[in-house]
A and B are shown apart, each in its own frame.
Chain A
């Protein structure tokens, strides 16, 4: 009897810790989605006789052009990222590169240069040093800012792939290229996809560098949102556009989680 009565408060304390812990996690999670939910309710709210759905009219109207630009720019930037990162990651992991750490850090650095500085420096460069066709200027600006996000998951995936698979393929008569195409690439596929997803999220929602380097006749979707916020203030129709952008991004994330799981983000900022 005494043993039981002694146990009770202890169990209660443990239960309390559990409730507090999970409560804290959920409190933070609510804060993370709070801006999104605020935008969502605002965009669906009825104001001045217009129904919430009307706010989304623009999404299917002129905003479509902006979205198209965004998809186009993102797609091209992702292709550049892939072309740049696949060989670089392979060399960094598989070949004896002198000063590996330094090279890797130099290739990671674009992530940490403030967007306004990238934007300013590219604006100056495009204006005064090398004239570049503006859409490509924007694509390459997006690539340089995002490729480290692709490099990291590929490097991790390659490091986790034992060398023995490539050696086995070579001993069985495969050329380096065959070994890469038939063995390495399929096996690091999820890592590559993780990189693609991260880059997509960043490039698709990028407005700051775009603000500096986009030509006047090219307005991507996030830039449109930014411009509308500055000119129109807190308009529900702008909220609808922001909600659309985040939903597209979120669907991409969920689709990836379903397909590949989450472990391929090791070393990137999704835990």
Chain B
């Protein structure tokens, strides 16, 4: 085991640049692997978003004029003066959809995780809303027509079907069907991480089902429920087809649709951008908290 101490120290010294070279190579390789995704996100999401931030401080379609854009903060003022009801309607719709999903989604997720064995059937059926809000809204408007699928049900409940088509409840109903899977995913994931023996233990200790639910299951799945609710809210903020096809004029004031109107029909890019930014800010704030509650852990 005798080693020449002279050659030893020289080999240690020789190692340092080699190690540094390899670390540099590793960093370079990592950067190369991440570059395509980063480029795509930066070129086609983040810089366009930055651009409409810029745009939201210009007047109308002045970007088109040869004199160059004129800068203003009026768009945000207009947002408050004229378009506040649009913002409020959007928030109202998203909130209602979130509440409906909470009330119906949490028990659904619980039953799905704990009681259902035919889960693949449920999964297969649950992809239908995912195909898009457009089909959901379109299909529902057919169902709500006189003589439509829901007609007998409504008659049974004594609701005149003219009251539902083009109304707030119809819009919220369509929105909550569309976003239901997100709620179920978040709550279901949280629930499947809770050991079922905990419920059995609670039951053996004499807890009633209601006590088990409120004292054991809900506290352990709170993060998933909050994340799901926030995610549903975040997705609902951008609602487009549902108010358009199922809503009255009031619901049709939803922000996403107004953005389209202003940008494509009126060519008022300034106000459209300002609205987009407000919409974006709202979605980001909500998503930030939602992700903090749930999924960042995926890569750790």
Contact of A116 among B131, B231, B260 (CB under 8 A): B260
Question: With an 8 A cutoff between CB atoms, is A134 at the interface?
Answer: no
Minimum CB–CB distance from B92 to chain A (whole Å) comes to 16
Q: What residues of B have a CB within 8 angstroms of the CB of A29 in the complex?
A: 121-122, 125-126
Question: With an 8 A cutoff between CB atoms, is B116 at the interface?
Answer: yes
Question: With an 8 A cutoff between CB atoms, is B210 at the interface?
Answer: no
Contact A229 B40 (CB under 8 A): no
Contact A112 B122 (CB under 8 A): no
Contact A38 B149 (CB under 8 A): yes
**For the complex, what is the distance from the CA of A121 to the CA of B259, rounded to whole Å?**
11
Contacts of B61-88 to chain A: CB distance below 8 A: 63
Q: What residues of A have a CB within 8 angstroms of the CB of B257 in the complex?
A: 116
**For the complex, what is the distance from the CA of A107 to the CA of B260, rounded to whole Å?**
26
Q: What residues of B have a CB within 8 angstroms of the CB of A147 in the complex?
A: 37, 40
Q: What residues of B have a CB within 8 angstroms of the CB of A110 in the complex?
A: 41, 45
Question: With an 8 A cutoff between CB atoms, is A90 at the interface?
Answer: yes
**For the complex, what is the distance from the CA of A238 to the CA of B135, rounded to whole Å?**
11
Contact A108 B140 (CB under 8 A): no
Contact B138 A120 (CB under 8 A): no
Task: For A104, give the chain B residue with the smallest CB separation.
Answer: B299
**For the complex, what is the distance from the CA of A124 to the CA of B271, rounded to whole Å?**
13
Instruction: Fill in one digit per residue for B109-147: 1 if any A CB lies within 8 Å of its CB, else 0.
Output: 001100110011111111111111011111111110100
Question: With an 8 A cutoff between CB atoms, is A60 at the interface?
Answer: no
Minimum CB–CB distance from A120 to chain B (whole Å) comes to 5
Minimum CB–CB distance from A61 to chain B (whole Å) comes to 20
| Secondary structure of the A contact surface, majority rule | helix
Task: Place the interface of chain A in its size category.
Answer: 35 or more
Q: What residues of A have a CB within 8 angstroms of the CB of B143 in the complex?
A: 34-35, 38
Q: What residues of B have a CB within 8 angstroms of the CB of A109 in the complex?
A: 41, 45, 284, 287
Contact B36 A83 (CB under 8 A): yes
Contact B41 A107 (CB under 8 A): yes
Contact of A32 among B180, B234, B272, B298 (CB under 8 A): B180
Instruction: Fill in one digit per residue for A250-270: 1 if any B CB lies within 8 Å of its CB, else 0.
Output: 100110010000100001111
Contacts of B24-79 to chain A: CB distance below 8 A: 26, 29-30, 32-34, 36-38, 40-41, 43-45, 47-49, 51-52, 55, 63
Q: What residues of A have a CB within 8 angstroms of the CB of B264 in the complex?
A: 123, 211-212
Minimum CB–CB distance from B65 to chain A (whole Å) comes to 12
Contact A246 B131 (CB under 8 A): yes
Q: What residues of B have a CB within 8 angstroms of the CB of A87 in the complex?
A: 32-34, 36-37
Q: What residues of A have a CB within 8 angstroms of the CB of B126 in the complex?
A: 29, 32, 270-271
Q: What residues of B have a CB within 8 angstroms of the CB of A32 in the complex?
A: 125-126, 128-129, 177, 180
Contact B263 A270 (CB under 8 A): no
Contact of B116 among A25, A31, A101 (CB under 8 A): A25
Among the stretches A49-57, A68-76, A136-144, the one at the interface with B is A136-144
Contact A39 B139 (CB under 8 A): yes
Task: For B179, give the chain A residue with the smallest CB separation.
Answer: A269
Chain B: interface residue total (CB-CB under 8 A): 97
Contact B131 A101 (CB under 8 A): no
Instruction: Fill in one digit per residue for B230-272: 1 if any A CB lies within 8 Å of its CB, else 0.
Output: 0100110110110011000000000111011001100001001
Q: B30, B55, B134, B238: which has the most chain A beta carbons within 10 Å?
A: B134
Minimum CB–CB distance from B233 to chain A (whole Å) comes to 11
Contact A25 B112 (CB under 8 A): yes
Question: With an 8 A cutoff between CB atoms, is B164 at the interface?
Answer: no
Question: With an 8 A cutoff between CB atoms, is A208 at the interface?
Answer: yes
Contacts of A12-54 to chain B: CB distance below 8 A: 18, 21-22, 24-25, 28-29, 31-39, 41-42
Question: With an 8 A cutoff between CB atoms, is A187 at the interface?
Answer: no
Contact A116 B259 (CB under 8 A): yes
Which 4 residue pairs are nearest across A and B when measured between Cβ atoms? A114-B238, A35-B139, A121-B48, A91-B33
Q: Identify 15 residue pairs between A and B in the complex whose beta-carbon atoms are under 8 Å apart, listed by A's number.
A: A36-B135, A38-B143, A101-B300, A103-B34, A112-B235, A113-B49, A114-B283, A119-B260, A124-B263, A140-B40, A144-B40, A205-B132, A207-B134, A208-B240, A246-B128
Which residues of A line the B interface, CB within 8 A? 18, 21-22, 24-25, 28-29, 31-39, 41-42, 80, 83-85, 87-88, 90-93, 95-97, 100-101, 103-110, 112-125, 128-129, 140-141, 143-144, 147, 151-152, 155-156, 159, 201-202, 205-208, 211-212, 222, 225-226, 229-230, 234, 238-239, 242, 245-246, 249-250, 253-254, 257, 262, 267-271
Known contacts A34-B139, A125-B47, A250-B127; 5 additional CB pairs below 8 A are A37-B149, A124-B55, A234-B142, A234-B145, A239-B139
